[in-house]
Amino acid sequence: MGTFQTVNPGDQPVWINTDNCKACDICVSVCPAGVLSMVYENTSTLGAMISIDHPESCIGCNDCELNCPDFAIFVADRKELKAAGVSFSKLTDEAKARQEAIVANNYMSLQQGA
């Protein structure tokens, strides 16, 4: 399931401007919590696109946004998110294990194919 908004709908911890995303994998590689992955996407020039598979696991570390070379991924402001009734997660062992599995899967989504 992708979350392909260009603006934050208000209650999303992390969101993408897919017009800017070059599917470079960097955000997937730096996320500690297994939130992000790549999916095959025929309409993209690179044949892949970022997917926010587990927004509920986002810890709000900002590493994805800080490392994206194309200003394509955004992390919510903690206070604004809270005002929308949503909180960032704590980093769980499950999320860490999922991140390791995504890296081992060449950054591809664990929800696709297989």
Q: Choose the stretch contacting ligand SF4; rule: CB under 6 A; options: 2-10, 39-47, 70-78, 79-87.
A: 70-78
By CB under 6 A, the residues from 73 to 92 that bind ligand SF4 are 73, 75
How far apart CA 50 and CA 7 sit, in angstroms, is 16
Both tokens of residue 35? Answer: 């939130």
88 secondary structure, DSSP code: P
| Candidate residues 60, 103, 105, 110; the one interacting with ligand SF4 per rule CB under 6 A | 60
Is residue 31 close enough to count as binding ligand SF4 by CB under 6 A?
A: yes
Going by C-alpha positions, the residue among 45, 42, 76 that lies closest to residue 61 is 76
46 or 104: CB nearest ligand SF4:
46
Is 29 one of the binding residues for ligand SF4 (CB under 6 A)? Answer: no
Is 22 a binding residue for ligand SF4 by CB under 6 A? The answer is yes
Q: Give Cα separations from 71 to 51, 82, 83, 94, 100 (angstroms).
A: 16, 24, 25, 28, 25
Asked if 14 interacts with ligand SF4 (CB under 6 A), we say yes
**Whether the Cβ atoms of residue 27 and residue 55 lie closer than 8 Å to each other:** no
| Contact footprint for ligand SF4 (CB under 6 A) | 14, 16, 21-27, 30-33, 35-36, 50, 58-64, 68, 70, 72-73, 75
